[in-house]
Amino acid sequence: MPTPIALNSLDLPKSPAETRVVVAMSGGVDSSVVAGLLKQEGYDVVGVTLQLYDHGAATHRKGACCAGQDIQDARRVAEALEIPHYVLDYEDRFRTSVIEAFADSYLAGETPIPCVACNQTVKFSDLMETARDLGADCLATGHYVETRRLESGHRGLFRPVDLDRDQSYFLYATTQAQLDFLRFPLGRLTKPRTRDIARDLGLVVAEKHDSQDICFVPSGKYADVIERLRPSAVEPGEIVHVDGRVLGRHDGIIHFTVGQRRGLGVASGEPLYVVRVEAEHRRVVVGPREALATTSLDLRDVNWLGPSLDGCGEAGLDIFAKVRSTRPPAPAAIRWRDGRAVVELAQGELGVAPGQACVIYDGVEAGARVLGGGIINRPASAAGPVQGIAAE
């Protein structure tokens, strides 16, 4: 009987010295620690940094990923670790696949998540191809998420130990082929432990602050970016109450998102929230808080990583759904209806925005498996259509 081949810490049947790992280095502490840990274990580590936009352009924000200072930080870490480091110009690809798609989604009345699109089209597609061209056995990143080998031989995607840093919501669209090639060494570490390791390794980025905003949006002002990219598409329209009353006018739907309360520009005797954005009519519909309630979600562009749903019948599969990055997964059920994925939320949610992701889990705790997810189409709202004018 043949002797089983020993697997290294990355679940690969080679010694670390014989295993080439490309590390996606953003210039932050997380990816730098990944490179440092793997180098320390004896792996053949190659660092790659993607320049995603012109760091001298107006869209640059101090602390944003993959711009000027971050590239310099990644290079300094690579030099200290004595590993090869490459900077690849992906500006055109990033602009087309992420920034312009972001603008078009906002103009369609949605609230998009560009980080998901970036992972799908740039980091886990183009970068993986580059990693293979460099002879890599796998691609490692600094995301807080975990993959593990399943009985099928493929790898599953799981929530990390540090749920405060959980990034699985942004990675649900990773395909099975990509998961099999990816590794996430920080999945079993907490953020404080990661910083301790950075200090122990003497990395210059050990105290560097994390970026909180979308990297190409200065100061969180999405409308400025969209107006610059699509100046002729921003048109004024009406602000309408769910009961049909016209309350005022706006300067463009890009200034509004579902659930928004502040900055509506209308006076009312009750607190009002954006209930939905009707891009086809350039209309912003507002209403009381209870009008935000949503119990059923229709998903598109579904990426399913879990077991087959065949045989689940009309009842569907009991799951936990996460409808916003800042909310925990909540009890729900998923079923296929007329070829569409429909998620029924057991307790309902407030302020579910089309364009956001609905990510499906088999539990809520650390180590829960990501079963898949999709983009939320316009949700069914308890408020129903705007009275008297919805049939335009």
- 274-300 per-position pLDDT tens digit: 999 999 999 999 999 999 999 999 999
pTM of the model: 0.89
Q: What are phi and psi of 33, to 5 degrees?
A: -65, -40
Radius of gyration of the chain from Cα atoms? 23
Domains and CATH numbers, the chain: 16-142+184-219 (3.40.50.620), 235-287 (2.30.30.280), 293-381 (2.40.30.10)
Annotated catalytic residue, options 65, 66, 115, 118? 118
- For 104, residues 6+ apart whose C-beta sits below 8 A from its C-beta are 230
pLDDT at 212 over 70: no
Q: pLDDT at position 381, please?
A: 45
Share of the chain above pLDDT 90, in %: 71
User: CA dist 85 to 75, 134, 183, 269, Å?
Assistant: 7, 12, 19, 60
The residue that leads in pLDDT, 53 or 363, is 363
**Is residue 312 annotated as a catalytic residue, yes or no?**
no
358 is catalytic: no
Q: What residue type is 342 in one-letter code?
A: V
What are the C-alpha distances in Å from 375 to residues 113, 188, 230, 372?
A: 9, 28, 23, 11
3-state secondary structure string across 273-287? EEEEEEHHHCEEEEE
103-129 pLDDT per residue, tens: 999 999 999 999 898 888 888 888 999
Residue of 65, 66, 138, 215 marked catalytic: 215
Q: What is the Cα–Cα distance from 70 to 144, expressed in whole angstroms?
A: 19
